[in-house]
Structure 1
Amino acid sequence: MWLLLAFLSAALLGFYDVFKKHSLKDNAVLPVLFLNTIFSSLIFLPFILLSAYTPELLSGTMFYVPVVGWEVHKYVIVKSFIVLSSWILGYFGMKHLPLTIVGPINATRPVMVLVGAMLIFGERLNLYQWVGVSLAILSFFMLSRSGKKEGIDFTHNKWIFFIVAAAVMGAISGLYDKYLMRHLNPMLVQAWYNVYQVFIMCPILALLWYPKRKSTTPFHWKWTIILISVFLCTADFVYFYALSYQDSMISIVSMVRRGSVVVSFLFGALLFREKNLKSKAIDLILVLIGMFFLYLGTK
């Protein structure tokens, strides 16, 4: 069941990436991210309030948010800082790079999660799973070759470093998620980390964007900004629920979630008219074959 939930989360993440790319096009990054945190918080705020003041309505359901003290909330705040760091780096990188480049790079994130899962949680892969991981690694190196055809040098382009750094922070977040899901309620983590991100973003927006707003890319409202939050929250809800299963493996869940590249790649080709699709398609096929081997490895 947890593997099917991981695949569902991957599909939702793909649409999230598409709406994020559309929202960031010719737009200011930090206000878009700030609004994303606000809308995400508003989605979960009713569940927090209902659980606190009329617990009988949600008690026993997957939407119940337990009332806990500082000894628990401090772990959720750490999660908020990790995720927001990844988002800031990822949003800036996505704004300046083709979606057909960003997606496959993000698809290699689970390799970092795999190493961490083996070292920290003692997870072990079978032959099929190792084949899947190896194909994901190979696709990254092939992608760097494809990027050079568009004038994107992986070793000297700062936006590539932004995306890679975002992937590293995302991997750290994934490993931390597995730890949290062993001790905390999934809804508690997701609801409160979104709320805390709003408070973290306020000084960032006030200090980094607002004073320079007239000399940088202006902010434009786009309705897809709301869809960013809707699809992200749904994808994360399914993801946390998958990790709550005792036999779930973060190394596999993380790898499957990167299957979102299929959706983002297709929209990058059809909607954003990105270039050099033939060689990138080969990279994508490698990722898909890798996903298939991971699936076989869990049978």
Structure 2
Amino acid sequence: MLWVTLALGSALFLGFYDIAKKKALTGNAVLPVLFFVSLTCTAVLLPVYFLGKIPSLALSEHLMLLVKAAIVTASWIFTFNAVSRLPLSLTAPIRASAPIFTIAMAVAIMGERPSSFEWIGIGFAMVSYFLISIASRKETGHFFTNIWILSMFFGTFLGSCSGVYDKFLLQRAKLDPLAIQFYFNIYMACIQAFSILLLCFLQRNKPDRKRFEFRWIILAVGVLLVIADRFYFLAVHEPDALISVVTVIRRSNVLISFAGGLIFFKEKRTKLKYVAMVGILIGLFFFGLK
């Protein structure tokens, strides 16, 4: 199945994106990082636009993408703030819980019916994500009273809403994948620029506010996201693609993010985390079966 391969490609680059994002956000102001990531995504896609490869859209379609941009920006604000303050080996597994929300919405709203093997794969993935969350909770103590953990969960929920909305845009509204990727990044950059100006106005008398430091790794975050999203949109665009399964496969990026947290950020290792990683790999095996 082509869409499974595309989803795996998205997971690979999303893992590298998570590592670069953590590096860009640590000790940095969040909103400007968001803005430069969106700006980089738009700049990478501009040559494709000038080559005439991106179709024009009707006003109603632009409005639909504006809604998507607002949802994703809100999700990013919550998740990026959490990533800047929590270990990557904790935030990546919480972000990987997105399939729980997506599967529920895809089955209830979009009428999806995953196969038996796909349900087994989803089950392995969900149990694995739960084990990682337990292991991470031991590191941070008060798990569900930590504001940044709650922020990560809420941002993840909004990301899942965006995922279900993607299926509507691609398979029901029949929007072109490149058009979605290009225009919604433009709208995100505009929303984030306005948010930065508003925040600067509201915090103009706060000398202790976190300052923004431009880092070249921010540009890498944008490039990696464009590649990951390109694989993702192509996967969802396939007629037989199930958004519930695509989301689970995509969130297997936790394997790369987990390794990055241990190697680059020297985060704590536990046996429970390794068991969960094996569970995710078993889940991916079942996704490849019919």
CA apart distance, 1:209: 4.3
TM-score using structure 2 length: 0.93
What is the alpha-carbon distance in structure 1 between the residues aligned to residue 255 and residue 167 of structure 2? 25
CA distance in 2, matches of 1:112, 1:161: 15
Q: Over residues 85-112 of structure 1, what are the superposed CA-to-partner deviations in whole Å (9 max), with x where a residue is unaligned?
A: 1111110011111111111112221121
Contact 1:150 1:276 in 2 (8 A): no
Residue 74 (str. 1) matches residue 63 (str. 2): yes
8 Å CA contact 1:47–1:65 kept in 2: the answer is yes
Distance 1:179 1:97, change over 3 A: same
Match of 2:208 in 1: 215
Distance in 1 (CA, whole Å) between partners of 2:111 and 2:137 is 38
Displacement, 1:288? 2.3
Call closer, same or farther: CA 1:74–1:190 in 2, change over 3 Å.
Answer: same
1:286 paired residue among 276, 279, 282: 279
What is the match of residue 206 of structure 1?
A: 197
Residues 17 and 264 in structure 1, CA contact (< 8 A), matched pair in contact too: yes
Q: Which residue of 1 aligns with 2:108?
A: 119
Corresponding residue of 2:4: 3
- The match for 1:234 is 227
Distance 1:94 1:141, change over 3 A: same
* Residues 111 and 133 in structure 1, CA contact (< 8 A), matched pair in contact too: no
The TM-score, its normalising length taken from structure 1, stands at 0.90
Alignment correspondent of 1:148: 137
Q: Is the 8 A contact 1:107 1:287 kept in 2?
A: no
Distance 2:132 2:259 in 1: 16
Corresponding position: 1:197 with 2:188? yes
What's the RMSD between the two structures over aligned residues? 1.6
Which one-letter code corresponds to 2:22 in the other structure?
K
Q: 1:155-166 alignment to 2 at 5 Å?
A: 155-166=144-155
Q: 2-side partners of 1:32 and 1:163: how far apart?
A: 17
- For 1:42, give the aligned amino acid: A
Q: By how many angstroms is 1:208 displaced?
A: 1.6
> What stretches of structure 2 of length at least 5 have no aligned partner?
none
The number of equivalent residue pairs is 285
Cα distance 1:71–1:145, how it changes in 2: closer, same or farther (>3 A)?
closer
Deviation sequence 1:161-200 (CA, Å, 0-9, x none): 1111111111111101011112111111110000011110
Match of 1:37 in 2: 38
The one-letter amino acid of 2:38's match is T
SS of equivalent residue, structure 1 residue 150: helix
Give the stretch that moved more between structures: 199-208 or 126-135. Answer: 126-135
1:184 to 171, 175, 179: 175
Match of 2:74 among 85, 90, 95: 85
Q: Which residue of 2 aligns with 1:261?
A: 254
Q: In the alignment, which of 257, 267, 270 is matched to residue 277 of structure 1?
A: 270
Q: Distance in 1 between matches of 2:133 and 2:175?
A: 39
Task: Say which is worse superposed, 69-78 or 168-177, in terms of deviation.
Answer: 69-78
Gaps of 5+ in 1: 52-63
Q: How far does residue 145 in structure 1 lie from its aligned partner after superposition?
A: 2.5
CA distance in 2: counterparts of 1:292 and 1:153, whole angstroms:
34
Distance 1:190 1:165, change over 3 A: same
In the other structure, the counterpart of 1:252 is 245
Equivalent residue, structure 1, for 2:97: 108
Per-residue displacement from partner, 1:31-89 (whole Å, max 9, x unpaired)? 111111111111122323332xxxxxxxxxxxx21112212111111111111111111
Per the alignment, residue 16 of structure 1 pairs with 17
